[in-house]
Structure formats: structure tokens, C-alpha cells
Amino acid sequence: MTVKLKIENVSKIFGPRPKKIIPMIEKGISKEEILAKTGHTVGVYNASMEIMEGETFVIMGLSGSGKSTLIRCLNLLNRPTSGAIYVDGENVAGYNKTQLKYYRQKKIAMVFQHFGLFSHRTVLENIEYGLEVRGMSKVERQKIAQKHIETVGLKGYENKYPDELSGGMRQRVGIARALANDPDILLMDEPFSALDPLIRREMQLELLDIQNRLQKTIIFITHDVNEAFKIGDRVAVMKDGKVEQIGTPEEILAKPASNYISEFIRDIDRTKILQAENIMMKPFGLVSLKDGLNVATQVMRENGISSAFVTDRKRQLQGIVTIDQAIEGIRHKQTLEEVMSTDVITVAPDEYVQDIIPYVLESKYPIVVTDEDKTIRGIILRVHVLASIISDSTEETELETEV
């Protein structure tokens, strides 16, 4: 994976003499105190992070925590007070006017919370705008705009005006307009927060879908933890201008770095975040087809379990055998293959817990997590699913279970 964007010790202080404020922050003087004493506002302090090419990186935090300030530093709508921002290895904070113009036209685009559309321009004309500014011919820019109208599912609305559209549709125009420049990096500052919950959910899925197709580097701001964890490959949590934690949703759920973050994630629906591989355990008591029924019986006895999964030599799942089946089989001189059952429920490692719950409730046996070639990756017991829903931590626990 290549680093697309590297933010290095970036601070942004608002006020007449911002550089003077940095030493005060270093001394540990709070944002409130600095404001009261000097009239300067700490927007962002000492933020560092690396964002990978093709990554969807979310910045989350309460109102005023510095999310917009940071994202605006990335396209230099805000000039950082200190620190560096590298895009493809170049420090954009040092760009001159011409370089900056090129950077903003070609490399980076922004989608705003309140759409920011031109009300006197049609959908098509709004999307064309950036290309028009660049001096592209009408035929060419309309062709590109049309393509992106289709990307965001607005075909047929080309000649409508923004006030003839719903909020969700307006934001689709905003996204298409940003995409029209074909930027590498897409900045999205709370793009969905003005939308009602149903439309919002639809737009989130749509964004994931667009991202799957286009593979941009997306930096997405939200103060909604469910949105952050649904969309983000990784999430940075900000508080009072500082970055408190950076990690994947699973990492943040498993080990929140502070009470602030624990509070944030308290109400999250874990079943929509955690995937099979996050809650599975190492498979135990596996028997190989070639081992036969006597070995199977012995394995079950040794492990204190009443059923065992059967694999081939490559650890690919073949079925399950219960202790009763094994004993009966031995009595009737049958083979393991003859007595085992093959109706084992399997799920992929990336299946969400939410979608696994019905299987777990229905199945007499543990659920098996397998790769596409049926290789066993782990097993999930009912108790794992329950623990993933209720516990604050997904760290592995020794569970006393009957299989």
C-alpha cells in the first residue's frame, strides 16, 4: 500500500499571531485558557496521520473538535500554522500559486455539507463547472459530466435546477461535481448530515459502491460514530483540536484510547461493525477424513466436545461428525465419510455479525468460518455472538463451551 497523504505535525491556530500560541499549547495550557488569555482559537494541534491510496479515512469528533479545520488544511483553504502536508511525497503547504491552482483543479476536490450548488445552473451545468473553469470545450465537458451523472444515479435529471431536487439528489450532484475533475483525493465534510436518516443510509451505501468502482482516496468527516464505522477503513477521532486515536473500527471498538472515545462508541451497534473473523476462535477438535472414526471419537473425548468438524488433508471443510454418529458408525463398521453430516453452516470471514445471528440461532452446531476454497479459518459459537453484542471488549476470552 502506498501513502497518498501524509499529515505531519499540522497545527492551525486562528488569530493575529498564531505562531506565538504553539509554545503555550506545548506547555499544556488548555484551548479555553488560550482563548480567554490571547483571543486565539486552537483549531488543530499537532495532527499527524498517513492516509493510504484508495483508503476511505474518516475523521470523527464532536462539534468544534477541529475536523473541518484539518480537512481544510488539506486543500489549503486553511494555511497550516505549522507542520507539513505531503501528497504523493510533495509538501503542498509549500506550493506557490500556480502549483496550488493545479493541485486544487486536478488532485483534490471537496464535497460540502450544504451542497454548495449554483442555484441558477442546471444539474449538468453544476457538474461541468470545474471543467468549464479549466477551459475545457463544451462538448468534452458535457460528456464527462454526463458520465458522472450516471455514476451517482441522476440520469434524467440533467436539466433540473437544484431547487427541484431532494436533499439526497442535491448531494449526488455535489459528489458528481467533485468527481468530474477526476481528483485522486476526495474531501467530504459531513456530506450527509443534512439528510434525513433513510436517505442518509442510502447515500452511505451509494458512496461505498462508488468507492468500490472508482478507488479514490476519500477523507470523510462525520460526528456520527455509526456512519464513521460503516464507511471508514480507518477512523481518526479528534478532541479539542487533537487527534485522540487512529485505528480501524474494530481496533477502536476493542481498545478505545480514552474515556472520551469509550463514550463515543457506547451506543454503537457492534453487530454492524464486527465481522466473523473478529469474533471467531481457532478451530479445535478437527479430524481429518483419513483419520477415521476411532480417531474422531478420541479427539472428541480429549477435547470434551460432542461433535467435531471433518476436513480433508488441506484443512478444507468436509462435514461434521457427532459422538453418537461416531459410536454407531464404529459398531456398524462404517467409515467417517459415511456417517458424518455435511449440512454445516459456513460464513465468509468478512460476514457481519448482524447477518450471522440468524444462522447461529438456527444451527445445532458451531458456525464455521471458511475461505472461498472451504479452508477452515475459525469457528463461531453462539456465545461468541452474544459476547460480541454485549461486551465492551472483543479481546479473546477463554470460553467454556460445549461443542
Ligand X SMILES: Nc1ncnc2c1ncn2[C@@H]1O[C@H](COP(=O)(O)OP(=O)(O)OP(=O)(O)O)[C@@H](O)[C@H]1O
The answer to whether 285 contacts ligand X (rule: CB under 6 A) is: no
**How does strand 56-61 pair with strand 82-87?**
unpaired
The cell for 385 is 455472538
The answer to whether 78 contacts Mg ion (rule: CB under 5 A) is: no
Q: How far is the CB of 194 from ligand X (least distance, A)?
A: 12
Of residues 67 and 148, the one with the C-beta less far from ligand X = 67
If DSSP codes are grouped into helix, strand and coil, which group holds residue 234?
strand
**The Cα angle at residue 398 between residues 255 and 355, in degrees rounded to 5:** 65
The answer to whether 80 contacts ligand X (rule: CB under 6 A) is: no
The cell for 394 is 472483543
Please choose, out of 3-11, 62-70, 95-103, 287-295, the segment that lies near ligand X by the rule CB under 6 A: 62-70
Of residues 65 and 217, the one with the C-beta less far from ligand X = 65
The one-letter amino acid code at 75 reads N
The answer to whether 63 contacts ligand X (rule: CB under 6 A) is: yes
Q: How far is the CB of 236 from ligand X (least distance, A)?
A: 12
Among 65, 68, 181, 245, binds Mg ion (CB under 5 A): 68
The cell for 173 is 450532484
What is the chain's alpha carbon radius of gyration, rounded to the nearest angstrom? Answer: 27
In whole angstroms, give the CA distance from residue 187 to residue 194.
Answer: 17
Q: How far is the CB of 64 from Mg ion (least distance, A)?
A: 8
The answer to whether 201 contacts ligand X (rule: CB under 6 A) is: no
If 0-12 CB within 10 Å is exposed, 13-18 middle and 19+ buried, where does residue 192 land? buried
- Looking at residue 81, the DSSP 8-state letter turns out to be S
- Looking at residue 352, the DSSP 8-state letter turns out to be B
**Which uninterrupted H or E stretch holds 188?**
strand 185-189
The answer to whether 65 contacts ligand X (rule: CB under 6 A) is: yes
The answer to whether 223 contacts ligand X (rule: CB under 6 A) is: yes
In whole angstroms, give the CA distance from residue 237 to residue 20.
Answer: 26
Please choose, out of 64-72, 203-211, 265-273, 321-329, the segment that lies near ligand X by the rule CB under 6 A: 64-72
Of residues 47 and 109, the one with the C-beta less far from ligand X = 47
Of residues 69 and 151, the one with the C-beta less far from ligand X = 69
Number of amino acids touching ligand X (CB under 6 A): 12
Query: Helix H segments across 232-275?
Result: 249-254, 259-265
Number of amino acids touching Mg ion (CB under 5 A): 1
Residue 64 interface partner, choices Mg ion, ligand X, none, CB cut-off 5-8 Å depending on type? ligand X
Residues 368 and 345: beta-carbon distance below 8 Å: yes
The answer to whether 194 contacts ligand X (rule: CB under 6 A) is: no
Please choose, out of 65-73, 119-127, 145-153, 377-385, the segment that lies near ligand X by the rule CB under 6 A: 65-73
Spatial CA neighbour of 75 closest among 22, 43, 111: 111
The answer to whether 64 contacts ligand X (rule: CB under 6 A) is: yes
Residues in contact with Mg ion by the rule CB under 5 A:
68
Residues in contact with ligand X by the rule CB under 6 A:
14, 41, 43, 61, 63-69, 223
